[in-house]
Structure 1
């Protein structure tokens, strides 16, 4: 099933190496050559006819807004029958009487309107309890005491309104008034920036959407060709389209600012929108797809375990939106709506990257890595059949089966979910120094221990050999029996272990934890094969790779220390470091190139001190 799915992608990608399926409508990028479909004149006539009908409908609605029917409301009807209500009389007593009469009549009219509304509501109610409640309210409104109280309330309200000043009384009030006015203006402007009209036309729903396209905020949408139609293929996080919520995937764009898009290919749409600024009016046929209920997506932070170059990816649906990254980068994934292509920002680029970029989804990346491994295995098997002798067939089959087992998804590193962690002051993270022999990591550890022994310590190892006269159990070693050592080893209690002169040695997680509980920093020099065990514990290690410099510089450093290595030994150190970084680099939190021992030591101290002042990205599984 995986093979058939991926083969479809391969076939599609082979024909679209330079012609992707989508085009960002307002992102600069190279021109893509897509197939241009024939123009549909009948559909264009229908659109033009619809525009004329829509214009007439708006004119009628606009005229209707200014025509008020006084008989539409009982209150308006009674006020129209009494035109002198509210007109000032020449004398003060006349004014006061007119005001009282006006308030009394308006209060009565409002109560009558309310009673009629309640009667209508009672008629619509079906259950007896609701009808009884409505009846009680109507009885309350009909009481004389309630009418008098409501009349007084109306008179006081009107008097308070009349004495209200029409301009601010103080300079502070004037400033507040200006601020409120600006807020109201911004609110109205925001509403005008994104509007949507939905109209039924010939049994089909058509949307008229208005968006504001600013120079510093791209529209943020991709389009694709579907026959002779232009369809919204993707709404990108961070753009005006996503913020407004008015454009959806699958919407067909009929026209923009009166310019028809029917029959145009995506390159023409891209060029058209590049030239447009300000208000954009879209005429759309909404997508027929059932939209899922809106939900707030949480941002997922991941560390990438592979390098990605969008320009080399034939599967990428939109070249302009591809986000490049390197192994070890932290990515903020803000949308997984498309499981094959996530939308993300690279850590630190949020301010300079207005639109989210596309990166391969975890499942999709695992599938094509599986396909790549399978193709590599088949190629090796084919070469084996051609060149291997019969005596090596058994050995070759064994290696091939091992490679096949490694194609399990769990073995394919893509992303790991991360969270920020700030180490507590009383529980320091252990520092694991990794590096090939003669890279200088042992010397750096000894220098830290000699300068600040109260701050740094090493874990006391376990051994099965007998103690010597000057040694004390728990100080130099934990002396244990071989059966006890084997039992702890089987239980996974050792970070690393080995045998020397028929005696077993090992560093246990309990020994490291003892240093941590004492408030000191545990220093470890480990083999790379121990990193997986260390990371699977709950010790939260900080791993620093000590890389050797160039071969010539390494010879000089070793010569300064009184060592004269052979050229093949220097080459072996360099190659071993490259191999360690290639296979285990995703475990490294930092790398120090040991060009100069003093500079490397100061850089090591800086990294360790930074753990006290800055939060660090750690696997989310460590914090669960």
Structure 2
């Protein structure tokens, strides 16, 4: 019952992850996440003849560009009605031919007619100034130079009207030139040699390259026609071996839709594909009715230029905005092959607890797109990782199911009780869990420690792991570089002790006041006296320019992390049980087998429950090697920036 609730809840949270199987069009992988969609004959029938319709409409539009409307101007209407043109055919096609022939035979015919009109106007004008202006125009028109210039103008105009700019025929002019050059290699004819010299000219090659660039852009953005109220567009993309296409597709009834555009791919960089676009053709191959597996296999075999015929998505696209990259540290392990809800398993990004992820897209709140830190060069496409809220919901449900199962098992021991326990609903169980208590991701930023303010080093580990010995060794070798915080106590000082050197001696009420105010990283009571390490003591060491060394308990980690001290916590893990026995024996200790097992079990428990607080881990296989590794980590803080919670820098 609870499992069915969980499945329904997660399916709802993951959106279409379960209802529509996505497939990355150019990423290899298994098919276990794909969903076979049913067939829809109505959509197929609607689109069967779209190719013929597009072709007919384009032919009609092209013919319309060359037709001449006789009523477009008074001049054309007059010429079409003039009996001097010698039109025997009463149809408009004959008139149009006669008009064109008239222009070709006598390009100055219009000038003669214009002169006659000006002479008639000259006689009609009564104003002397107007008559003088008309006379000047008539003198200009009568000049031989003007007639020649006008003849040239007419010839050029006629040529320009015949050459109508059209869309580019191809975007592979450069490739065609190279093919012709290969054909002409064996040619010894004069014309072939001249053509070879022309095609190898750097200026012509640059022209062809520029042509292909412009043609590719124009053809990619060209709207071909309107089909049943929907715009059909042509998109050209280059699919290179080193740059995947970066898109997933899904079936919606009989259609193949672009489901996701992945950051880093050719589709995302071009901006020509959008989520929800319906793919009609790829390189002339009809896609409608194909399963996403078939589309995947088809695109796997294609290289170079891909031509997509699409119906753009009818969804209102938000205005493009620059998304900032969010850096997070993962607090759980993730393997997409074990996740039944990942929308596209081939694009799932696996990671381990503690990895830094660079989240570059949160458009889908359930499935972010991210890169794993250090793998950007080997990861051309962003991978899919669970979104924070989605993962918190899943972890909440897992915890609810676990707690409910344990409660049910406990009730089996008391089956004879007369009162039946009330059944808790899933919503009630979920409300009892705070999402903020479930660790998924934490936003991180790079931080470089200042030269005069060193980060405190916190060493933590189970008893007998060697973390206290490493601290004493650092203090003895370089006392001018490392120091410990002076603790507080409520006991009385001894004769050789000085306030502020061995301890800060305070009254019990003052200690308890500071403890209530959160001023102690850790505290405890021994023989009715209180002891504790205060944040002010750690800050005093930092202000002196030295590195404060702390040996921590697990309960002090949260307090230290919540302070503004920016600690660097290193977990000192014990080695195997046999190696631990040897190390302790060298120090004169003879631990029992159960003691060794307890140390290793305690370390495992600490790492599982508090590992998200650890910045680094050192396995203490050998004291000298562990010490050198510890020094290396500390020195690296001076030379390399480190990832710290963004909240520390606010």
Q: TM-score range by the shorter chain?
A: 0.7 to 0.9
User: Using a 3 Å threshold, how does the CA distance of structure 1 residues 554 and 506 change in structure 2: closer, same or farther?
Assistant: same
- 2:246 equivalent in structure 1: 220
Pair 1:51-2:77 in alignment: no
Question: CA shift at 1:7, angstroms?
Answer: 4.0
Pair 1:545-2:571 in alignment: yes
**What is the rounded CA distance, in whole Å, between the counterparts of 2:455 and 2:60 in structure 1?**
71
User: Using a 3 Å threshold, how does the CA distance of structure 1 residues 488 and 203 change in structure 2: closer, same or farther?
Assistant: same
After superposition, the C-alpha distances for 1:381-424 in whole angstroms (9 at most, x for unaligned) are 11111025899x9xxx9xxxx99787210110000000001101
Moved more, 24-33 or 424-433: 24-33
**What is the rounded CA distance, in whole Å, between the counterparts of 1:177 and 1:495 in structure 2?**
74
Contact 1:24 1:320 in 2 (8 A): yes
**Secondary structure of the corresponding residue to residue 49 of structure 2:** helix
**Secondary structure of the corresponding residue to residue 400 of structure 2:** helix
- 1:555 equivalent in structure 2: 581
Contact 1:39 1:263 in 2 (8 A): no
- 2:356 equivalent in structure 1: 330
Pair 1:35-2:34 in alignment: no
Alignment equivalent of 1:535, drawn from 561, 566, 577: 561
Contact 1:230 1:266 in 2 (8 A): yes
Contact 1:431 1:522 in 2 (8 A): yes
User: Using a 3 Å threshold, how does the CA distance of structure 1 residues 181 and 262 change in structure 2: closer, same or farther?
Assistant: closer
Structure 2, gaps ≥5 residues long? 77-102, 110-144, 154-201
Moved more, 229-238 or 211-220: 211-220
Question: CA shift at 1:177, angstroms?
Answer: 8.9
Taking the TM superposition and a 5 Å limit, the aligned residue runs for 1:297-376 are 297-376=323-402
**Secondary structure of the corresponding residue to residue 475 of structure 1:** coil
**What is the rounded CA distance, in whole Å, between the counterparts of 2:29 and 2:205 in structure 1?**
42
- 1:205 equivalent in structure 2: 231
**Secondary structure of the corresponding residue to residue 48 of structure 2:** helix
- 2:267 equivalent in structure 1: 241
- 1:493 equivalent in structure 2: 519
TM-score, scaled to structure 1: 0.76
Question: CA shift at 1:46, angstroms?
Answer: 3.2
TM-score, scaled to structure 2: 0.73
Taking the TM superposition and a 5 Å limit, the aligned residue runs for 1:126-165 are none
Pair 1:520-2:546 in alignment: yes
Question: CA shift at 1:199, angstroms?
Answer: 3.2
How many pairs are equivalent? 519
Pair 1:447-2:473 in alignment: yes
**What is the rounded CA distance, in whole Å, between the counterparts of 1:617 and 1:52 in structure 2?**
59
Contact 1:193 1:212 in 2 (8 A): no
**What is the rounded CA distance, in whole Å, between the counterparts of 1:403 and 1:600 in structure 2?**
46
Alignment equivalent of 1:604, drawn from 612, 630, 645: 630
**What is the rounded CA distance, in whole Å, between the counterparts of 1:581 and 1:349 in structure 2?**
25
Larger Rg: 2
- 1:130 equivalent in structure 2: none
Question: CA shift at 1:380, angstroms?
Answer: 1.1
Contact 1:439 1:547 in 2 (8 A): yes
**What is the rounded CA distance, in whole Å, between the counterparts of 1:502 and 1:177 in structure 2?**
93
After superposition, the C-alpha distances for 1:431-468 in whole angstroms (9 at most, x for unaligned) are 00010000000000000000000000000000000000
After superposition, the C-alpha distances for 1:318-345 in whole angstroms (9 at most, x for unaligned) are 0100000000000000000000000000
User: Using a 3 Å threshold, how does the CA distance of structure 1 residues 183 and 491 change in structure 2: closer, same or farther?
Assistant: farther
**What is the rounded CA distance, in whole Å, between the counterparts of 1:313 and 1:589 in structure 2?**
28
**What is the rounded CA distance, in whole Å, between the counterparts of 1:565 and 1:435 in structure 2?**
17
Alignment equivalent of 1:251, drawn from 277, 291, 298: 277
How well do the aligned residues superpose, as a CA RMSD in angstroms? 3.6
- 1:21 equivalent in structure 2: 21
**What is the rounded CA distance, in whole Å, between the counterparts of 1:416 and 1:210 in structure 2?**
40
Taking the TM superposition and a 5 Å limit, the aligned residue runs for 1:62-141 are none
Contact 1:534 1:541 in 2 (8 A): yes
Alignment equivalent of 1:387, drawn from 413, 416, 425: 413
**What is the rounded CA distance, in whole Å, between the counterparts of 2:272 and 2:17 in structure 1?**
32
Contact 1:39 1:262 in 2 (8 A): no
Moved more, 210-219 or 181-190: 181-190
User: Using a 3 Å threshold, how does the CA distance of structure 1 residues 201 and 194 change in structure 2: closer, same or farther?
Assistant: closer
Contact 1:6 1:367 in 2 (8 A): no
- 1:412 equivalent in structure 2: 438
